[in-house]
Structure 1
């Protein structure tokens, strides 16, 4: 009885000084007015939606006539007028979305929305329709910049938010033109940042969201609640073609670089660092004495590269660039892509268990050696194939790693004999037992007329040899 009395007295004392025990906490209040329960994204949508546009494209595709139409009996039966009336091309229509980022008429969308289009029409929220031209298209990041002529009347546009400030759990809105419907808004959260390995674009680096994204949303806006653009909706993960709550948006920091380059009228060039890396696995982390897997280990450093000049070495573990984590190859490509050429970056590494910081001035990828682009001719297995010397500049254009030199296949014509065993991106490493280190050496080798040919090709790290009669 005495213990019960003491508990009651303690509770009374806590209440008297304004401290309530959990059991005595005040009950939640019922909202007393509409303003306490009303929540709406409508003001944000009204401000942002005029800057999101619908994009319609037309592509003329030439059709191949069946061979039987050229049969003389068929032509005599149906007549030449009928033959001339047969359509020789068809028009393919497509739709997508875009975002106005400059008042004078620059619009960003996905490259796949406008790829190979003969006509591009932009429809604004006020029902205006204007023709557009492609200013810049970069297939590596699946982004394109369009320009419309708006005269002296400025367009409503969106400001960009630093995508590195986005966090998992942030509320976002997706605005676009799904399935050809009028402008549609969906809401969700950012499900993951720095999502890589999706294989959607060359960068493979995205913001993931569960806001509903469907066909036609491509190129539309992903907005944070401050009304700024944090990403361009690019792709979805789906087995049915519809939204299953896994959508990917290209981060706004890449979009910012695309717009900057488009305004200058140049091509997007990813700065050259001059290293080859691989992800640090648990086994690798243990062998390096690291407490946990993090960063990427440098497995190659190009001679006279920015990395080499700064003092980075093979075996260093690269942790961050400008304070942002780099945990795989996609993250490294992304971090470099957001920097202009000749920028200075701070790189944090681990070397022999000690953390080090390096200041690196990145540069444009050099074309060393010169590409010497050549189409091979003559009576030999590689006739018609176009080849180039590999260099960092060529690697940047082809969106491949520049860690290895040699001769790379740039083009293989349809119908060429070589198309049976070669494809773009292959390295020709040997002809009849001789190493091929340059286009000049390859030209010399194919000019001979041996009885048999042995062509060695490196593809995906494996060397394959193909043998032919002369």
Structure 2
């Protein structure tokens, strides 16, 4: 047999193998709704036609599946542009700052009054249209503290956008543009998403010149938490390339349904390194509906604090696996207490679904409507107990605590109101105004730069803060990756501490 015959047979064998491979993926329908059909915000998800399926029998068909998916969904993806007015006081001299006078000032000039300067900060992210009448989903951090927002579609139309509502706890924001017959995307069921499933990300990474960039990958994991990005963490992990600017864009399955909102990356370099995170669509659906219908996020709560189980702890409780949510504390008067949950209980199932850990439990509860009855299977001292819990609306004081928790994850430390008792304990002047640092993450940049428990923060980015509310307002206005400049007092000595806010 000559060399050509060997090569020919090898090529024929390889082609036969490729032909026999049978990929069964779904393609979304590219059919558009009739021109005279107007979708309202309340009917949007019910009226979006579900994509039709057809088998894919060759690698070329598999390629075409992604091409058609990109073509069908990209028109509903927008680039979000924001603008924010920043006001800063021009710094006084160091002598004037620390001692209240400047020995080098001219006679009779007196104390210098700080000059305030103003400049504009621009931002960019991504979003996607969810209704024909112009509702748009994006990330809260994309539009947070923005004075003005506008969006640009794939065909270069621009619309001024109104911020309908935001939810920092889940990092979701709802925008609205005045338009009709807009292309839109359907929200899928993120609970049905499987690890290993193909997904596609669409967005505008890095700059507007890269708008509507399409990348593909798989679902790497589900239920990722402890990322320290937001309060309610239940992320989808994907290796579809996500970069700064992709935030707020859709993560799509092969049916063209949105299964997640691209939100963040894990990176040592600041660029994509194969680990991206998306907020599940089921959480986004619940938050969006609440904001559109009530103007705010009405969140259910259980009323427990707890933790994830590890293998050692599971063995201590006599469990075979480390699945479940351990209850550390039950709040007085909470739905949990009324239903009979107790400290030391391990919640194994909710509504027949296995509870993997406490983070997953919190996220699932947050997607429920107050008044919902949930069935719980609990391990108590080795015995199985079944409970029915009627969820209630989360009280305002717990929401405030959640806001502070969000700041902690961004900044790396927690604060509280400053009291006379604190002044005595930390040798501080009781006449000062500010917020007291109660704990600092030892791995945070704030700690590495010198911030410590007991420090009194009196200003953020040169603007005075007198209480926790003012601190949260000032700190919340600092975008991820920007520098926070704190003025603090320690044992009546003043100092400046600067660090970058976590992504």
Q: Give the TM-score taking structure 1 as reference length.
A: 0.69
Residues 227-285 of structure 1 deviation map (CA, whole Å, 9 limit, x = unaligned) = 00000000001111111110000111110012111211332133121222222232222
After TM superposition, the structure 1 = structure 2 runs for residues 20-419 of structure 1, keeping only pairs within 5 Å, are: 29=16, 36-38=58-60, 39-40=63-64, 41-67=66-92, 88-150=117-179, 153-180=180-207, 181-366=210-395, 391-392=397-398, 394-395=400-401, 398=404, 409=416, 417-419=432-434
Residues 201-222 of structure 1 deviation map (CA, whole Å, 9 limit, x = unaligned) = 1112200000000111010110
Residues 426-457 of structure 1 deviation map (CA, whole Å, 9 limit, x = unaligned) = xxxxxxxxxxxxxxxxxxxxxxxxxxxxxxxx
Larger mean Cα displacement after TM superposition, 248-257 or 135-144: 135-144
Query: What runs of 5+ residues in structure 2 fail to find an aligned partner?
Result: 1-12, 21-55, 94-101, 110-114, 407-414, 420-428, 441-489, 493-503
Deviation at 1:52, TM superposition (A): 0.7
Q: Indicate how the Cα distance of structure 1 residues 423 and 131 shifts in structure 2: closer, same or farther if over 3 A, else same.
A: farther
Q: Indicate how the Cα distance of structure 1 residues 27 and 215 shifts in structure 2: closer, same or farther if over 3 A, else same.
A: closer
Deviation at 1:44, TM superposition (A): 1.1
Distance in 1 of aligned mates of 2:400 and 2:140: 21
Equivalent residues of 2:347, 2:379 under 8 A apart: yes
Aligned partner of residue 286 in structure 1, secondary structure: helix
Q: Indicate how the Cα distance of structure 1 residues 272 and 51 shifts in structure 2: closer, same or farther if over 3 A, else same.
A: same
Larger mean Cα displacement after TM superposition, 353-362 or 319-328: 319-328
Equivalent residues of 1:207, 1:248 under 8 A apart: yes
Residues 315-335 of structure 1 deviation map (CA, whole Å, 9 limit, x = unaligned) = 221012223333333212201
Q: Give the TM-score taking structure 2 as reference length.
A: 0.65
Aligned partner of residue 234 in structure 1, secondary structure: strand
Aligned partner of residue 88 in structure 1, secondary structure: strand
Aligned partner of residue 145 in structure 2, secondary structure: coil
Equivalent residues of 1:365, 1:392 under 8 A apart: yes
Deviation at 1:304, TM superposition (A): 3.0
Equivalent residues of 1:54, 1:177 under 8 A apart: yes
Equivalent residues of 1:206, 1:250 under 8 A apart: yes
Deviation at 1:168, TM superposition (A): 0.6
Equivalent residues of 1:55, 1:120 under 8 A apart: yes
Q: Indicate how the Cα distance of structure 1 residues 36 and 286 shifts in structure 2: closer, same or farther if over 3 A, else same.
A: closer
Distance in 1 of aligned mates of 2:292 and 2:149: 20
Distance in 2 of aligned mates of 1:117 and 1:423: 30
Distance in 2 of aligned mates of 1:94 and 1:121: 11
Query: Which residue matches 1:405?
Result: none
Equivalent residues of 2:164, 2:295 under 8 A apart: no
RMSD: 3.4
Deviation at 1:195, TM superposition (A): 0.9
Deviation at 1:418, TM superposition (A): 5.0
Equivalent residues of 1:171, 1:189 under 8 A apart: yes
Distance in 1 of aligned mates of 2:14 and 2:346: 54
Aligned partner of residue 371 in structure 2, secondary structure: coil
Query: What runs of 5+ residues in structure 1 fail to find an aligned partner?
Result: 1-25, 77-85, 368-390, 401-407, 426-465
Q: Indicate how the Cα distance of structure 1 residues 92 and 314 shifts in structure 2: closer, same or farther if over 3 A, else same.
A: same
Deviation at 1:196, TM superposition (A): 1.1
Deviation at 1:423, TM superposition (A): 6.1
Distance in 1 of aligned mates of 2:271 and 2:222: 22
Q: Indicate how the Cα distance of structure 1 residues 394 and 171 shifts in structure 2: closer, same or farther if over 3 A, else same.
A: same
| Larger RCO, structures 1/2 (Cα 8 Å, 6+ apart) | 2
Higher Cα Rg, which structure? 1
Equivalent residues of 1:189, 1:211 under 8 A apart: yes
Equivalent residues of 1:52, 1:97 under 8 A apart: yes
